[in-house]
């Protein structure tokens, strides 16, 4: 992938590098939503311990939710970058050792099955 | 009388606290200055600094860099406690002393102070619906029936209120620099428990729990500078009780001679002995007449700064550095619950002090949920008309035990 040449052209690598379809909204924004939700909920806990009504001081709910959202974005980025690094390492390994990854020969059932006549 | 005149001359000069460097070296920050009374001074008192509005603004953290506790202290920043048997005239004397020395007066515990919440709702109205064991009691209930099994928990609740009031007194003293005169305090409350136990009003189990609670709470409190004990014999107490004829006191089965004698004995043999190791104690025989001017004269001669590090006298007031005083002040003003939580002693062996679970549920629903202004902290009750959506902070009101 980096150097260019025939070794890039392993069929497995070609398959692994086809672009993925657009993921649904919930999957893309799972981390920001989750951590934002945790932040928002923690403001309710704070009010519970401080003997205040649940929605008192809505600034706190908004601020903690916002901090959670941003934290989720950065956590998402960290997760994606870890996965990307792992994928790159595996792809490069395939490219370096193509003999360990032979493309299997496709056979038809007509070549495998033996002749049979329906007599018992 | 010569000593008295000398003291008067010394008081005419304004007293400055020593610079803070010498205070950090462990020396007392205020020079040898005696309490100055209004009459002898003859002119207005000069306050060193504006008092910190501790009832509106909290004192925490960074503020301690800008506002030192001891910068407000002068010769009148003292904690005085007036003690004595019932009907000794403690309130009259304490109010007179507070007026003379321009100190804050703190009243004795009463049902109004304990049971009226911050919104002005009297919680004693709930007594009809509360279960028997959990009714809100007052001193009148003790006087009517001292053998009631609820007297143990009543006394412990009263101790809790007195502890809260003492902490408020210390907070007032540290935040404003004004002295405080208290009418009976938490430190002597145990004499009532001892007398009640000796008279058979409460069991020894209750007394044991009470002793444990008191033992846990006391180390965090500064003992007073001065204790004024008003001494009258038991016969005179009984006479005065009959004379002032309060409806519940006359003919009360609680105020027996034996109870009052036990009270006096514990006061003198136990409380005054132990507190005199730290505080100055002045005892007055007020059976004939009460002359407050004599007490004022004696108090104005007392020198609280003469004691060093060899003795335990005044040790609660002359050993702390500025930082330690700031930390104390923070705790008493804003983290009072930490000190009140010392009362949570895990003693479950005394059945009179335990309540049934079903009763607790009823109590909780009435006291903490449905009564007006009880569900949330002060300033955050939408049912009482507070707007709460954008409100942060503490609610802006300090539980005030000085208003009576």
One digit per residue, the tens of pLDDT, for chain B of length 404 reads 344 444 334 333 334 444 444 444 455 555 567 898 988 888 888 888 899 988 877 787 778 788 889 999 999 999 999 999 999 999 999 999 999 999 999 999 888 888 988 888 999 999 999 999 999 999 999 999 999 999 999 999 999 999 999 999 999 999 999 999 999 999 999 999 999 999 999 999 999 999 999 999 999 999 999 999 999 999 999 999 999 988 888 889 999 999 999 999 999 999 999 999 999 999 999 999 999 999 999 999 999 988 989 999 999 999 999 999 999 999 998 888 889 999 999 999 999 999 999 999 999 999 999 999 889 888 899 998 888 898 887 766 666 555 44
Whole-angstrom distance, CA of residue A53 vs CA of residue A37: 19
Instruction: For residue A61, list chain B residues with Cβ-Cβ distance below 8 A.
Output: none
B388 touching A, CB under 8 A? yes
**Confidence check: pLDDT of A5 > 90:** no
**Cα separation, B370 vs B372, whole angstroms:** 6
**How many whole angstroms separate alpha carbon B226 and alpha carbon B82?**
9
The residues pairing with B228 across neighbouring beta strands, listed in sequence order, are B82, B282
Chain A contact for B341 (CB, 8 A cutoff)? no
- β-partners of residue B116 are B122
**Chain B touched by A86 (CB under 8 Å):** no
- Cβ of A53 within 8 Å of Cβ of B380? The answer is yes
Say if residues B380 and B395 touch (Cβ distance below 8 Å). yes
Question: Going by C-beta distance under 8 Å and a sequence separation of 6 or more, which residues neighbour residue B104?
Answer: B98, B169, B172, B176, B178, B179, B180, B181, B402
Contact B377 A56 (CB under 8 A): no
Distance of alpha carbon B175 from alpha carbon B10, whole angstroms: 26
Q: How far is B54 from chain A (nearest CA, A)?
A: 20
Report the alpha-carbon distance of residue B34 to residue B11 in Å, rounded: 7
Q: Where are the domains of chain A?
A: 25-98
Does the distance separating the beta carbons of B382 and A59 come in below 8 Å?
A: no
Strand (E) or helix (H) holding B362: helix B357-363
- Distance, CA of B34 to CA of B32 (rounded, Å): 7
**Nearest Cα to Cα of residue B292 among B300, B302, B280:** B300
- Chain A residues with beta carbon closer than 8 angstroms to that of B390: 57-59
For B20, other C-beta atoms within 10 Å of its C-beta total 14
- Residues in A closer than 8 angstroms to B376, CB to CB, are 51-53, 56
Residue-wise pLDDT for A11-41, tens only, equals: 999 888 899 999 999 999 999 999 999 999 9
Q: What is the DSSP string of B43-83?
A: SPPPPSSPPP-TTTS---TTHHHH--GGGG--TT--EEEEE
> Alpha-carbon distance B345 to B293, whole Å?
44
In whole angstroms, what is the distance from residue B302 CA to residue B291 CA? Answer: 18
Report the pLDDT value the prediction gives residue A120, as an integer from 0 to 100: 81
How many residues are present in chain B? 404
The pLDDT of residue B236: 94
Task: Find tokens 């709460």 and name the residue.
Answer: B388
Q: Give the tokens for residue B148.
A: 């009631």
Shortest CA gap B381–chain A (Å): 8
pLDDT value for A87: 94
């Amino acid at each position: 992938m980096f150097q260019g040449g025939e070794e890039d052209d392993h069929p497995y690598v070609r398959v692994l590098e086809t672009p993925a379809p657009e993921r649904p909204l919930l999957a893309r924004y799972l981390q920001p939503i989750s951590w934002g939700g945790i932040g928002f909920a923690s403001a309710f806990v704070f009010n519970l311990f401080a003997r205040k009504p649940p929605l008192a001081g809505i600034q706190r709910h908004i601020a903690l939710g916002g901090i959670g959202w941003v934290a989720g974005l950065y956590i998402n980025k960290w997760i994606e970058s870890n996965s990307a690094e792992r994928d790159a390492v595996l792809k490069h390994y395939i490219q370096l050792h193509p003999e360990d990854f032979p493309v299997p020969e496709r056979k038809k059932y007509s070549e495998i099955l033996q002749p049979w006549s329906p007599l018992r | 009388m010569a000593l008295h005149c000398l003291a008067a001359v010394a008081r005419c000069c304004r007293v400055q606290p020593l610079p803070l460097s010498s205070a950090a070296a462990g020396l007392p920050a205020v020079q040898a200055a005696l309490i100055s009374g209004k009459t002898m001074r003859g002119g207005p008192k000069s306050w060193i600094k504006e008092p910190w509005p501790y009832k509106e603004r909290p004192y925490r953290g960074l503020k301690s860099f800008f506002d030192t506790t001891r910068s407000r202290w002068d010769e009148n920043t003292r904690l005085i406690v007036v003690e004595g048997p019932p009907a000794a005239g403690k309130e009259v004397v304490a109010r007179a002393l507070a007026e003379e020395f321009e100190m804050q007066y703190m009243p004795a515990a009463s049902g109004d102070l304990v049971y009226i919440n911050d919104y002005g709702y009297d919680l004693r109205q709930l007594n009809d619906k509360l279960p028997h064991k959990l009714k809100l009691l007052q001193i009148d209930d003790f006087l009517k029936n001292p053998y009631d099994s609820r007297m143990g928990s009543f006394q412990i609740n009263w101790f809790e209120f007195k502890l809260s009031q003492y902490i408020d007194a210390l907070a007032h003293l540290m935040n404003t620099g004004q002295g405080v005169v208290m009418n009976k305090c938490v430190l002597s409350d145990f004499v009532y428990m001892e007398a009640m136990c000796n008279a058979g009003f409460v069991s020894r189990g209750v007394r044991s729990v009470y002793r444990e609670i008191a033992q846990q709470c006391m180390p965090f409190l500064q003992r007073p500078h001065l204790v004024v004990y008003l001494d009258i014999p038991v016969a005179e107490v009984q006479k005065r009780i009959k004379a002032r004829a309060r409806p519940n006191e006359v003919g009360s089965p609680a105020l027996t001679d034996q109870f009052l004698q036990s009270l006096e004995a514990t006061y003198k043999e136990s409380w005054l002995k132990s507190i005199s190791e730290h505080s100055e104690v002045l005892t007055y025989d007020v059976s004939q007449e009460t002359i407050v001017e004599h007490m004022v004269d004696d108090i104005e001669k007392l020198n609280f700064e003469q004691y060093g590090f060899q003795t335990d006298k005044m040790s609660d007031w002359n050993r702390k550095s500025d930082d330690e005083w700031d930390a104390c002040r923070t705790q008493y003003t804003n983290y009072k619950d930490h000190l009140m939580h010392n009362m949570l002693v895990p003693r479950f062996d005394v059945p009179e002090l335990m309540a049934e679970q079903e009763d607790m549920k009823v109590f909780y629903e009435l006291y903490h949920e449905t009564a007006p202004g009880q569900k949330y902290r002060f300033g955050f009750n939408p049912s009482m008309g507070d707007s709460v959506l954008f409100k942060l902070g503490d609610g802006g009101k300090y539980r005030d035990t000085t208003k009576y």
